Structure 1
Amino acid sequence: MLFKNGYFFQAGIGILANAFLLIFHIFTIHQVHRPRPIDIVTCHLASVHIVMLLTALLILSEDMFKLLNFPNELICKLLFYVNRVTRNLSISNTCLLSITQVITISPRSFCLSRFKQKLTHYIAIAFFCFWSLNLSSNSHMIIYTVAHPNRTNLLNVIKYCSLSTMNSIIMALFLSLSLFQNIFFVGIMLLSSMYMVIFLCSHHKKSEYLHSMRISPRISPAQRATCTVLVLVSFFVIMYCVDLIISSFSAVLQKYDPIVLDIQRLMGNIYAVVSPLVLISSDKRIIGILQKLMEMIIVLSS
């Protein structure tokens, strides 16, 4: 019960933060003639996290199944499938966010700089590819998710939904494909992070030079955005490694221990909760709006 309450509290904060971030960027994209590519990716990432957290909440909401008076297999399949797809989309979109920032800050001499002019067009293509890839690669969840908790050859995940045990060869195939896909995206994140670190170091040297010349250096928006993306990518990689260790342990044993599963749920959703808070706190536009709202509230209350 303690884990469950913490999980609902965590998901509630994540949904509210992502919803606020999504609404802000929708208005921003609507008002600006040429929206920033990073705003488009952030908007999509926030919407993916909202769906992921909502499906995770519905999976744990036993009251929904009780109202139906029977375990609905279609609901189990749909919730598990959508949740898995959005989790993988979170990985691919975070990777796209890092690549977008690298292209944005790259000089003309860099090989990826030629994508700057049509970056929004390439982002739309990337969205289509990510959705197609994840919808197809996670289709096995529709087959192996069942709602018959009384059978003995199942891996119980929640009270009303379970996973059928797979053939060892099929399970190894799906695990290998999923692991390869995730390692590919994480590898690109690490490479892009290395480039962003080099970019920040070079700007730091320039700032030291300006300071020695008694010129007050200022942190540019590009530097601030790069730092934010770098923090998000680093945090995601750490959370992904922890989640991967727990998931691999459960998959190898083919046993879902309730406590281990609760810890995995909490750890698996931390990124979806923390990422919008980091993006909100690092965006001067949002901070300015929040400050104005606070001033209005103080004036009205007084």
Structure 2
Amino acid sequence: MSQAFLTGRQTAVSRKPALGLLFALQTSVGTLGNYFLLFHYVSLSLAGDRMRPTDVILRHLTIANSTVILSRGVTQTMATLGVRDFLSDLGCKLVFYLHRVGRGISMGTTCLLSVCQMITISPWTSRWAQHKDRAARNIERYIVLIWTLHLSVNYVILASMTSTLRSKNMTQKQDFGYCSATFKGGIVASLYSALFSVPDALTLGLMLWASGSMVSMLHRQKQQVQHLHRARVTPRAAPETRATQRILVLVSTFVTYYVLSSACHLCIALSKNLSWWMLNFSALLAAYFPTVSPFLLMSRAPGCVGPAVSA
């Protein structure tokens, strides 16, 4: 082991308490934000208010975000503070499985939210008009499909994760501080990569397409409003426009997080000597979108708890 690596490890150890507090703060703030937003939507449902399709989607998004934060935040905090070997083999499998499921559902529901809003604001004369009522009626079926897909696809995670107690004699592994991932080579590795990458790529592409369509619609709407101003006609306030802008901010935040997170995961996968700093930065980044998304939704909806998204 090189002297530079030892020096880096010593520096990292000296800064573990501060990083542990940062993980704890991120976990606490993100969990409270998502639970607050979830409580709002559950209260609406219990009060008998009509749940809009976007309300249903956002309720599942907060559940997925909470799963991501809690599955890695607590364990990463303990590992950073120096607690070792606190998870059993089953615990490691469950933590990483829940994290991957939550991450996938967060991505899928964000994509569904953008597509739903794109259909909502589309002109009644467009080809999407016939899909508006159908999308509203089937929104819960789409969400069940997202949950089923990611609960099934990420099942393979259970085979690759082990606790640090059982993986001490393994040579092909990556140590995450409290759990280890064993490597698989050849065709199996390619199949695993395709299994995880293809759904993500399709979902991300659909999300970007829907966002681009919404930007185009907002641009046309802005031109119409300018025309009304020139004609001295007072334009009617458009709640759909404000809701669409909130969703675009949410989607932009997710895409930024996803690109940076994927780059970190790629660096970790290709690294022979796993960097302590890269590992912890990746863990912080993994909880970034789940932590900030409820506050983005609440802060951009003045006068109410949740976003006034039209459906």
TM-score (norm 1): 0.87
Query: Would the alpha carbon gap of residues 194 and 46 (structure 1) be closer, same or farther in structure 2, given more than 3 Å must change?
Result: same
- Choose from 272, 279, 282 the match for 2:297: 279
Partner residue, 1:37: 53
Distance 1:229 1:179 in 2: 24
Q: In the comparison of the two structures, how many residue pairs are matched?
A: 286
Alpha-carbon offset, residue 285 of structure 1: 4.6
Question: Aligned to 2:128, what secondary structure does the other structure show?
Answer: helix
- Choose from 237, 243, 265 the match for 1:247: 265
- One-letter code aligned to 2:144: F
Query: Would the alpha carbon gap of residues 56 and 165 (structure 1) be closer, same or farther in structure 2, given more than 3 Å must change?
Result: same
Partner residue, 2:205: 187
Query: Would the alpha carbon gap of residues 112 and 4 (structure 1) be closer, same or farther in structure 2, given more than 3 Å must change?
Result: farther
Partner residue, 1:257: 275
Does the 8 Å CA contact 1:80/1:145 hold for their aligned counterparts?
yes
CA deviation string 1:194-214 (max 9, x = no partner): 111011111111221222233
- One-letter code aligned to 1:202: R
Matched, 1:123 2:139: yes
Unaligned 5+ runs, structure 1: 289-302
CA deviation string 1:87-137 (max 9, x = no partner): 111111110010110111122233333232233432111112111211121
Of the two structures, which has the highest relative contact order with CA contacts closer than 8 Å and spacing of 6 or more?
A: 2
- One-letter code aligned to 2:100: R
Does the 8 Å CA contact 1:149/1:156 hold for their aligned counterparts?
no
Q: How does 1:126-205 map to 2 (within 5 A)?
A: 126-147=142-163, 148-205=166-223
Does the 8 Å CA contact 1:76/1:146 hold for their aligned counterparts?
yes
- Choose from 257, 262, 284 the match for 1:266: 284
Distance 1:278 1:157 in 2: 34
Alpha-carbon offset, residue 22 of structure 1: 0.7
Which structure has greater helix proportion? Answer: 1
Distance 2:84 2:260 in 1: 36
Matched, 1:14 2:65: no
The percentage of counterpart residues that share the same residue type is 29
Superposed structure 1 runs of 4+ greater than 6 Å apart? 66-70
Distance 2:74 2:212 in 1: 38
Partner residue, 1:221: 239
Does the 8 Å CA contact 1:239/1:271 hold for their aligned counterparts?
yes
Matched, 1:98 2:87: no
Which deviates further from its counterpart, 255-264 or 41-50?
Answer: 255-264
Question: Aligned to 1:117, what secondary structure does the other structure show?
Answer: helix
Alpha-carbon offset, residue 234 of structure 1: 1.3
Query: Would the alpha carbon gap of residues 255 and 102 (structure 1) be closer, same or farther in structure 2, given more than 3 Å must change?
Result: farther
Question: Aligned to 1:152, what secondary structure does the other structure show?
Answer: coil
Distance 1:151 1:202 in 2: 62
- Choose from 211, 226, 236 the match for 2:254: 236
Does the 8 Å CA contact 1:155/1:163 hold for their aligned counterparts?
yes
- Choose from 80, 84, 87 the match for 2:100: 84
Distance 2:302 2:136 in 1: 23
Alpha-carbon offset, residue 265 of structure 1: 1.2
Distance 1:220 1:70 in 2: 53
RMSD between aligned residues: 2.3
Query: Would the alpha carbon gap of residues 115 and 29 (structure 1) be closer, same or farther in structure 2, given more than 3 Å must change?
Result: farther
- One-letter code aligned to 1:24: H
Matched, 1:206 2:216: no
Query: Would the alpha carbon gap of residues 50 and 187 (structure 1) be closer, same or farther in structure 2, given more than 3 Å must change?
Result: same
Distance 2:242 2:86 in 1: 52
Which deviates further from its counterpart, 74-83 or 160-169?
Answer: 160-169
Query: Would the alpha carbon gap of residues 3 and 171 (structure 1) be closer, same or farther in structure 2, given more than 3 Å must change?
Result: farther
Which deviates further from its counterpart, 15-24 or 246-255?
Answer: 246-255
TM-score (norm 2): 0.84
Question: Aligned to 1:210, what secondary structure does the other structure show?
Answer: helix
Distance 1:271 1:174 in 2: 25
- Choose from 18, 21, 40 the match for 1:5: 21
CA deviation string 1:46-87 (max 9, x = no partner): 111111111112322548xx9998641111111111111111
Distance 1:7 1:218 in 2: 45
Distance 2:88 2:19 in 1: 25
